[in-house]
Amino acid sequence: LLLSCAQVKSIGTSNRAPDASFVQPLEDEAFDEGTVVEFIGVVGDDGPVEDLEVNWVSSIDGILPDFDPPDANGNVELSTASLSEGVHVINLQVIDRYALQGEDTVTIEILDVPEIPSIEILHPFSGEVGLENTPFVFMAEVSDRQEAAENLRVELVADPGGFICFLSIDGSGIGQCSGTLPLGSYTLTFTAE
């Protein structure tokens, strides 16, 4: 006589959706146009994090290119300086091998950078006195967020008297020229374009 006893239990497995969260930037943080913005996040899943698909999506610029998978601890990052001006909702999306998705968002603003160059007069100093009909060196430092300094044009005009010279600008933004002025007092205007 053979007797047997068996118990049957049903078990199931489940897969939870992966997690995603932003570490930086902070919510509503603002950046100047052309500035490198670093996005850092953390992702997690039941399975290996290296197998997760990660996407960064801007509400203005669409998918932001990133080819780095998460590291072993689930850290992800993206650096970009090419975001368009405006308020962006950046979505960090993570998808596991079963197509389950997790996400987090952060809102940032990219501020328009003025397109006018800046200029600082280095020489002469206010109230400085030169010699009549003797060449005088004029100097200024220029910069521009949109253009290389050496591509800028700086014109120097005296009142009274008019045009004196164009400054020659080097790669560091320092420009100079020389000119002579007759005896008198002058207001000098340096204009960068």
Question: What is the pLDDT at residue 8?
Answer: 56
**Which tokens go with 120?**
């600082």
Per-residue pLDDT at 66 exceeds 50: yes
pLDDT greater than 70 at residue 9: no
Tell me whether strands 19-24 and 37-44 are parallel, antiparallel or unpaired: antiparallel
Res 12: pLDDT: 47
Task: Count CB neighbours of 96 within 10 A.
Answer: 21
- Position with higher pLDDT, 74 vs 6: 74
Q: pTM for this structure?
A: 0.57
Mean pLDDT, the chain, rounded, equals 89
What was the pLDDT predicted at 4? 54
pLDDT of residue 5: 54
Tokens of 27: 């919510």
Backbone angles phi, psi at 50, to 5 degrees: -65, -20
> pLDDT at position 73, please?
93
pLDDT at residue 92 is higher than 80: yes
Residue 174 is predicted with a pLDDT of 95
Name the nearest CA neighbour of 154 among 140, 136, 135, 144: 140
Asked if residue 14 has pLDDT above 80, the reply is no
